[in-house]
Amino acid sequence: MSNLLVLPILIPLCTAVILIFFKEKIRLQRGISAFSGVLNILIAGILVARVHAGGIQTLQMGGWAPPYGIVFVGDMFAVLLVTMASVVSFAILLYSFHSIGEKRERFYYYTFFQFLLVGVYGSFLTGDIFNLFVFFEVMLISSYALISIGGTRLQLRETSKYLLINIVSSTLFVAAVAYLYAAVGTLNMAHLSQRISEAGQGGVLNVIAVLFLIVFSLKAGLFLFFWLPGSYSAPPAAVRALFGALLTKVGLYAIIRTFTLLFVNDLGFTQSWIAWMAAVTMILGGLGAVAYKDIPRILNYNVIISVGFVAFGLAAGTRDALDGTVFYLLHDMLAKGLMFILGGMIISAAGTDRLNSMGGMIKKYPLIGWMFFILTLALVGIPPLSGFAGKVLIIRGALDTGMLTLSLIGLGSSFLVLYSLIKVFRQAFWGNEPENDQPQVNLKWASAVAGGLLVLVIAMGIGAEFVFTYVSQAGEVLASPVQYIEAVMKE
């Protein structure tokens, strides 16, 4: 029992409610959200330390022991993701102070921001599949508001699509939960894992597994990502960063959790599905990234490529590959947040998001240029930056299981990432300046935020050994679900 586990959900929830009362006082709103962001990082750090020292932490709501009560479970994987999410969201919060605009701030931007965090942290920490659905919905309904806030034509159109896709996938989610409950009669994840092992995961449970895979893939943008580039391009840069860094990762977390804990008795079947979906995602995402010529779309297709790569790590499924998956997921949250912030800075500096009408920015904004370049190297996986360790572990695990074709696709996707981002770098920072002279934009604050994140990206790469001690503890639980079950069901 550890009451601390509920704090990452309670803090943003209370903050969001308090913020509603200060609609007109924007400075106060910023102060309160920043304070709660710092508090969250601290709590997440304490949680990581506790899990590192004392193993998996659980919290039984109202003292009702599982499988009857609602449980929150913090294993290393979940608390690491909570920590990274709180760091990245804090940076994005700071970035949005000077980029989101007063009009949006007045319309409860920070409130929805905090509610989104409630959903994200809740999805990571819950140990009950129906609560996962509820936290997904909390997260999604705030994301609907964040996409549409501001109400431009483009936003309204894209929100309609995004909303429809997510309502359909949530409907399927409830249907999948209903079938699962009918088949095994429980919803607690640890208990589900036991019952599914007892039942042996026959035909019916495989169908349910695939239904869950479809639902989570829709949310994560794995294979079923057709809605993602359009919807994520509509909102302003800070919201885009939040979505690109956190939302797809929550979907991936759900996929990893269900297919390492629940449906583990017929791995040949489920993993081959995930492997093929990952391959197609990496190829199509890569093609999209090189095909488009506006910054938001190029960055969004990069998100899709990394979703494919994480799923590939899960499909490989060895201990090495799972460690790598966790590492890469953490790196990707950080790097994707930074990527969208830098993308937003480039757009506001150039006054347009079309690559063709940019150029020569390295003279005016050398710092942004070099940060973007280093980040590109990190995303491709050049050592000693943070993308390297995760990629090596995943590829090594995949080669151990003989997935040669997929490894080649994974490595090839890195080239497409490199090509697409260097294309942005070359067009925006090199070449001639466009005719219509843009006034110099003050980006000191945003540069400071981006610089802070970049330091973290570099530190995570150089200190990979240190990060790995925590990551391998997360991979250990993923590789042997028995630990998770014992921690939750112990009495």
Partner 1 sequence: MELVMAVAVGILFTIGVYLILSKSLLRIVLGTSLLTHGVHLLLMTMAGLKKGSAPVLGKSDSYVDPLPQALILTSIVISFGVTAFYFVLAYRSYQALGTDEIDSIKEDKE
Applying CB under 8 A, the residues found at the interface with partner 1 are 130, 133-134, 137, 141, 144-145, 148, 151-154, 156-157, 159-160, 163-164, 167-168, 170-171, 174-175, 177-179, 181-182, 187
Contact 460, 331 (CB under 8 A): yes
- Nearer to partner 1 by C-beta: 28 or 175? 175
Phi, psi of 99 (to 5 degrees): -125, -20
C-beta closer to partner 1: residue 56 or 100 = 100
E strands in 70-199: 71-74
Element (H, E) at 270: helix 267-291
For residue 163, the minimal CB distance to partner 1 (Å) is 6
Smallest distance from partner 1 to CB 145, Å:
8
- Whichever of 137 and 266 has its CB closer to partner 1, that residue is 137
Query: Do residues 285 and 304 touch, judged by C-beta distance below 8 A?
Result: yes
Nearer to partner 1, 175 or 482 (CB): 175
The rounded distance, in Å, linking the Cα atoms of 309 and 318 is: 15
Contact 417, 380 (CB under 8 A): yes
Nearer Cβ to partner 1, position 156 or 199? 156
CA-to-CA separations, 169 to 179, 214, 285, 337, 413, in angstroms, rounded: 15, 8, 21, 25, 28
Contact 92, 341 (CB under 8 A): yes
Question: What tokens appear for 295 in the block?
Answer: 């910054």
Shortest Å, Cβ 86 to partner 1: 25
Contacts (Cβ under 8 Å, ≥6 apart) of 7? 43
Shortest spacing between CB 11 and partner 1, in angstroms = 23
Q: How far is the CB of 135 from partner 1 (least distance, A)?
A: 11
Q: For residues 103 and 157, which CB has a smaller minimum distance to partner 1 in the complex?
A: 157
* Least CB distance to partner 1 at residue 137 (A): 5
* Residue 491: burial class (beta carbons within 10 Å; 0-12, 13-18, 19+): exposed
Q: Please say whether the beta carbons of 32 and 18 come within 8 A.
A: yes
**Helix, strand, coil: what percent of the chain each, to 5?**
80, 5, 20
Half-sphere exposure of 141 (CA within 13 A, CB side): 9
Between residues 153 and 363, which has the closer beta carbon with respect to partner 1?
153
Q: Which is nearer to partner 1, 32 or 347 (CB)?
A: 347
Rounded Cα–Cα distance for residues 359 and 370 (Å): 15
- Shortest Å, Cβ 222 to partner 1: 23
Q: How far is the CB of 152 from partner 1 (least distance, A)?
A: 6
| Cα radius of gyration (the chain) | 21
